[in-house]
C-alpha cells in the first residue's frame, strides 16, 4: 500500500489547486510541504483579512479543507487515477485571532483506517475517511479542523 | 429590544462585506435579503468553482459564515455601535453538489436566547450566541451550517 511514488511536489500541488479550485487562487494558497503523512498549505493575510485585520474564519476553514483534501488527493492519485474526493461534513474551532500569514497541516484522523479505506474504494468504488487539519500562526496552534471525505473511483 | 431601526439595506450590507472582508469580494458575494429574522446572501459559481465544476466546500462554508455573521452585525449595530463579532466554532454538512449560484440563509439557532444575549453583552461586554445557516441551490436545501459567535462590546 505504498504511496510514496505517487506523491506530488509542493509546487505541482499548488499549481493544481490554483487550476482546479478558484478560491485557492483568490486566497493565494501556497503548498509548503507534501509528504505521505501530511500536507501543509499556507496563505497570506491580505486576501484573507477581515474587519478586525485578522484572518476571516471562512478563509481559515477553506485552507484547512484544501489541506485535508490535498492529502487525500496526493495519496490516492497513484492508486486510483480517476478518483474524485468530496467533502461531506466538517467542523472548525477557532482558538484565537490569526494576525498574519497562516498555515494548515493535514493528517489522517486515524492512520490505521487507510488500508480499509483503500480496500473499500477498490471493491465498492466508494469509501469514507476522516482528516484533521491544524491551523497554525507564528508557530502556534490557532485552530482545529476535522472533516469527513468521500472518495469515488470513477474508473 | 426592537432592532428594526438598526437594520441595513441589502445593498449596504453587501458593500460593507466587500469593504471589510476580502474573501467576500473574491467570492462575489451579494446580499439578497436583510430582515430582523434572517439574512440571505448569495454567490455565483465561477469564483467558487472546484475540480468537479461544483461549488468548493470552503466557499459554501464561507458564505454560511458570512450570512450568520451578518445577521448578528445588522441586529447589534444599532444597540452597540462598537460591537465586534467573532466566530468561535462552526460545523457544516454538505448534502449534495451545488452546480450553480447558491445562497445561505442565516437565522438564530434559538431566537429566545436573544434577550439574554443582549443583556449579557451590555452587562459584561461579552456574550455568546449560536446561528444556523441553510445552504440553498435551485430552491433546495443543499447543506446546513451551525456556528457559535462571541460578541464583544468595545465601548
ipTM of model: 0.94
C-alpha cell at A37: 503523512
Alpha-carbon span A132 to A64, nearest angstrom: 8
pLDDT tens-digit profile, chain B (155 residues): 444 455 789 999 999 999 999 999 999 999 999 998 999 999 999 999 998 999 999 999 999 999 999 999 999 999 999 999 999 999 999 999 999 999 999 999 999 999 999 999 999 999 999 999 999 999 999 999 999 999 999 76
Q: How close A31 comes to chain B (CA, Å)?
A: 17
Q: Of A94, A25, A14, give the one whose Cα is nearest residue A54.
A: A94
Number of domains in chain B: 1
What pLDDT is recorded for position B154? 75
Q: How close B1 comes to chain A (CA, Å)?
A: 26
CB atoms B91 and A90 under 8 Å: yes
Please name the helix (run of DSSP H) or strand (run of DSSP E) that holds residue B127, with its range, or none. Answer: strand B126-137
A88 contacts: CB under 8 Å, gap ≥ 6? A128, A147, A148, A149, A150, B93, B94
For residue A89, the domain's CATH number is 3.10.129.10
Cα B58 to Cα A11, A22, A125, A134, B8, distances in angstroms:
21, 11, 25, 16, 27
B45 contacts: CB under 8 Å, gap ≥ 6? B54, B55, B98, B99, B100, B101, B102
Q: Which regions in chain A score pLDDT beneath 70?
A: 1-6, 155
What pLDDT is recorded for position A83? 94
Which residues in chain B touch residue A46, judged by CB atoms under 8 angstroms apart?
22
Which parts of chain A fold into alpha helices (H)? 10-20, 22-26, 57-76, 114-124
What pLDDT is recorded for position A92? 98
CB atoms B57 and A94 under 8 Å: no
Q: Of B67, B48, B62, give the one whose Cα is nearest residue B10.
A: B67
**Where in the sequence is the domain holding A23, given as residue range(s)?**
4-153
Amino acid at each position: 500500500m505504498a504511496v510514496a511514488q505517487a506523491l506530488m511536489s509542493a509546487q505541482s500541488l499548488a499549481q493544481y489547486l490554483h487550476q482546479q479550485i478558484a478560491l485557492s487562487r483568490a486566497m493565494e494558497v501556497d503548498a509548503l510541504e507534501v509528504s505521505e503523512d501530511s500536507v501543509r498549505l499556507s496563505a497570506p493575510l491580505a486576501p484573507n483579512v477581515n474587519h478586525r485585520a485578522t484572518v476571516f474564519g471562512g478563509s481559515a476553514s477553506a485552507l484547512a479543507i484544501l489541506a485535508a483534501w490535498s492529502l487525500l488527493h496526493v495519496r490516492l492519485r497513484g492508486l486510483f487515477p480517476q478518483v474524485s474526493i468530496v467533502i461531506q461534513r466538517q467542523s472548525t474551532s477557532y482558538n484565537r485571532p490569526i494576525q498574519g500569514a497562516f498555515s494548515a497541516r493535514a493528517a489522517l484522523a486515524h492512520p490505521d483506517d487507510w488500508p480499509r479505506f483503500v480496500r473499500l474504494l477498490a471493491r465498492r468504488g466508494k469509501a469514507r475517511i476522516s482528516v484533521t487539519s491544524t491551523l497554525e500562526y507564528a508557530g502556534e496552534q490557532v485552530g482545529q479542523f476535522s472533516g469527513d471525505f468521500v472518495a469515488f473511483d470513477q474508473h
